[in-house]
A and B are shown apart, each in its own frame.
Chain A
Amino acid sequence: MGASRTKVAVIDPSGRLLGHAVKKSGIDFSVTAAACLDAALEMAGASREDIVRAVSTGYGRGNVAFVTEKSKTEIGCLAKGCYHYFPEAITVIDIGGQDNKIINLDAAGRRSSFKMNRKCAAGTGAFLEEMASRLDISLEEMNGLARQSQEMIKLGSYCTVFSATEVLESIRNGKRVPDIVKGLFYSVIKRVLEMDILSGQVVMTGGVVACNPYIVEMAEEMIGRPVLLPELPQLAGAVGAALYALDDKPETA
């Protein structure tokens, strides 16, 4: 249950992904979770009675008592999900709706450290949502617009409110929207790179990455090496939670 989007992953005992769903978390987490769960189960050709075990994660991890009281943090689940796809020493960069995380895993998949963004929206999905509204464009348009950019406009501030004034200034000066949008993407990546040193093979996840593949290309260029993506980058945390359920490891309850 993410702050922005709710994701469900249904896996079989071999860890194969059978069904999945993503919905806006909205204002009733339990209702959204139930709808999302049923959609994912339908895709898997299963029903709620078929659930052997479940683990919840994310901001709303305490809001899904109807299916499970077992939970893990999203940091644990992202680590688990990514290591499942890439079993090596990796650095996970998750760009979510509410916050960003950088998680370092050793070759055995153990977390050696993690960082979360400071208590501000800079570099998160919420930042892009705010800016999309300023530019009067939809979130879905952003990726395509950024690709059309010919002359990126860089933002100077790490404050979302200040960035908004910079965007307004660009609008006032008649700058092109694609150039502004690319600048916003650039800003998101810069904020993430300020959080930690990227040591291992980089894996990116999260809704911002899933919906904006161009951000990944820009990130590769900025860090000077290729970035790996799970098949469904927005699902990585949900898959990790499902894998924890499969393990039935002692949970924090």
Chain B
Amino acid sequence: MSEEKKVVRKKIQATDQMNKIMSDYFYGLNEAATTGSKKVAWCTSVGPAELLRAMGFAVHFPENHAAMLGATRLSNEMIPVANAIGYSPDICSYLTADIGAYLKGMTPLSKAYPGIESVPKPDVLVYNTNQCRDVQDWLAWYSEKLGVPMIGIASPKNVNEVTDSHIDDVASQIQALVPTLEAITGEKLDLERLRETVSLSRQCTELWKDVLETATASPAPITFFDSTIHMGPAVVLRGTQEAIDYYRVLLAELKERVANGVGAVEGESLRIYWEGMPVWGRLRQHSEMFAELKAAVLASTYCSSWIFPAFDPGDPFRSMAKAYLELFIVRADAYKGEYIKEMLAKFRIDGIIYHDAKTCPYNSNNRYGMPQRLERETGIPALVISGDLNDLRCVSDEQTKTNVEAFIEQLEEGK
């Protein structure tokens, strides 16, 4: 590998519009928190954001904030601070980065958005354990620290088939949140507004799905690394018209790329699936490393996790429950295996890379024999790389590079 030869990454023009709506979102949140114009809720990334938004809360997503800490590599300085107060290096490095940042009085928002001095002070903390237990422990720390109420949903986990009883359980838990939230806002829940929000969320996630599926084309117009950035609105602005408008613009641009045969990776010769979380502090390096090898990492479970086909304005509570339960991360391995196999076929994948994220067992699907099982069943070669989402102490760039290059050599030889 010659080190000098750098690939030019093609800019997605819609990025400017995304930056604008993200900026408006963060300033709006800051205004709500500093002026009291709206109540502020902190919420886990997969819900129940729809309910909070419909009830007039400005919603902050700690996971989004933690990813920013990772992407800016500020997490390196923050995680040890949380470790020192008893939050282990072995647990979620989103949690440790975010709590560490709070303890240090530091946020990447200040640099990105001048005038914002801190994360928005919450009026309520709302979790859903459908992803993991760590989100609850994370918000619990803030609840105690800030004296703010914490409420949430204790979700079923490792579900193979989502049944009515699962949905009944979660739907009633979501409904049970309402009185507390009403007491905070001082207003009754407007069911029509909830239906509207759920409808907007559904449209947003359908458009996001269309965006991701443009990568079924060869060459793929968008990579996984692009998508981890462009999924921002699907995470933090789900349930708003702005997110929908944005994805229409992005989708049009990507469709144009497809029509013109423009790929995100120049000379795409191999198509790779990414299973697991990104290494946020290495997004650019990884993007360039694969592009130099002419390998397009073009689809992932992670970015596809913000597609919620179940949202139904006609039945908002039950459909939210269903949407939050049907998510990949909530499911059993039997379901996960079938899901990944469908994705490998749909995107015509040559090889799959599993990111074994040291501090996120829930997003590391290599630990129960999945790579071996799927390799046997599909014949598509698999590689596992060790790393982490936010804790770069768990990342060896040299080992990653050697593993990836050897994997690409193997795939090329096998073609």
User: Taking the complex as formed, is B190 at the interface, i.e. its CB lies under 8 A from any CB of chain A?
Assistant: no
How would residues 394 to 415 of chain B score, 1 for a CB under 8 Å from any chain A CB and 0 otherwise?
1010110011011111100110
Q: Do A119 and B413 touch across chains, with their CB atoms under 8 A apart?
A: no
Contact with A along B376-408 (1 / 0, CB 8 A): 000001100010000000101011001101111
With A73-B402, A99-B399, A110-B414 in contact, do A62 and B2 touch (Cβ < 8 Å)? yes
Interface residues of B (CB under 8 A from A): 1-3, 5, 293, 375, 381-382, 386, 394, 396, 398-399, 402-403, 405-410, 413-414
Cα A247 to Cα B211 in complex, Å, equals 43
Do residues A75 and B409 form an inter-chain contact, with CB atoms below 8 A?
A: yes
Partner of A119, one of B375, B386, B408: B386
Q: List 19 A-B contacts (CB under 8 A).
A: A59-B398, A72-B409, A73-B405, A73-B409, A75-B402, A76-B409, A110-B413, A111-B406, A111-B410, A112-B381, A113-B382, A114-B410, A116-B399, A116-B402, A116-B403, A118-B386, A119-B396, A252-B293, A253-B2
CA–CA, A111 and B396, complex, Å: 24
Checking B1, B398, B413 against A253 with a beta-carbon cut-off of 8 angstroms, the contacting residue is: B1
List, in ascending order, chain A residues with CB within 8 A of B394's CB.
119
Considering the complex, which residues of chain A in the window 70-128 have a beta carbon less than 8 Å from any beta carbon of chain B? 71-76, 99, 110-114, 116, 118-119
Does the CB pair A252–B402 fall under 8 Å? no
**Please, which residues of chain B bring their CB within 8 A of the CB of A65?**
2
Distance, CA A114 to CA B414, complexed state (A) = 13
**Does A61 make an interface contact (CB < 8 A)?**
yes
Q: Which residues of A contact B405 (CB under 8 A)?
A: 73, 252
Q: Which residue of A lies closest to B411 (CB)?
A: A111
Q: Number of A residues contacting the other chain (C-beta, 8 Å)? A: 22
Task: Count chain B CB atoms within 10 A of each CB in A74, A112, A252, A253 and give the residue with the most.
Answer: A252
Docked-complex contact B5 and A73, CB < 8 angstroms: no
How far does the Cβ of B396 sit from chain A's closest Cβ, in whole Å?
A: 5
Taking CB atoms and an 8 Å cut-off, the chain A residues in 27-60 that contact chain B are 59
**Chain B positions within 8 Å of A71 at CB level:** 1
CB distance from B292 to the nearest CB of A (A): 9
> CA A253 – CA B294 in complex, angstroms?
11
> A62 to B406, Cβ gap below 8 A?
no
With both beta carbons as reference points, the residue of chain A lying nearest to B387 in the complex is identified as A119
The 10 closest A-B pairs by CB, nearest first: A75-B406, A73-B406, A111-B410, A119-B396, A76-B409, A73-B405, A119-B386, A69-B2, A110-B413, A73-B402
Q: Are A253 and B409 in contact (CB under 8 A)?
A: no
Cβ contact within 8 Å between A252 and B409: yes
Residue in A62, A252, A253 whose CB lies within 8 Å of B408: A252
CA of A114 to CA of B405, assembled, Å: 12
Q: Are B409 and A111 in contact (CB under 8 A)?
A: yes
Interface centre among B386, B406, B409 (most CB of A within 10 A): B406
> In the assembled complex, how far is the CB of residue A119 from the closest CB belonging to chain B, in whole angstroms?
5
> Which among A74, A113, A253 has the greatest number of chain B C-beta atoms within 10 A?
A113
Tell me which of B381, B386, B413 contacts A113 (CB under 8 A).
Answer: B381
Residues on A with beta carbons closer than 8 Å to the beta carbon of B1: 61-62, 71, 252-253
The distance from the CB of A198 to the nearest CB of chain B, in whole angstroms, is: 14
B2 CB contacts on chain A under 8 angstroms: 62, 65, 69, 253
Residues of B within 8 A of A110 (CB): 413-414
- Nearest residue (CB) in A for B385 is A116
Once the chains are docked, how many angstroms separate the CA of A252 from the CA of B406? 10
Which chain A positions have C-beta within 8 A of B398? 59
Contact A111 B399 (CB under 8 A): no
Shortest distance in angstroms between B286's beta carbon and chain A's nearest beta carbon? 16
| Residues in B whose Cβ lies below 8 Å from that of A76 | 406, 409-410
Q: Given A59-B402, A75-B409, list of 13 further CB < 8 A pairs?
A: A61-B1, A62-B2, A73-B405, A76-B406, A76-B409, A110-B414, A111-B409, A111-B414, A114-B406, A116-B403, A119-B394, A252-B405, A252-B409
Whether A253 touches B5, Cβ cut-off 8 Å, given contacts A116-B402, A118-B386, is yes
A201 to chain B, nearest CB (A): 20
| B409 and A74 contacting across the interface, CB-CB below 8 Å | no
Q: From B413, which residue of chain A is reached at the shortest CB distance? A: A110
Q: Which residue of A lies closest to B292 (CB)?
A: A252
Q: Most chain-B CB neighbours within 10 Å: which of A59, A65, A74, A114?
A: A114
Residues of B near A59 (CB, < 8 A) are 398, 402
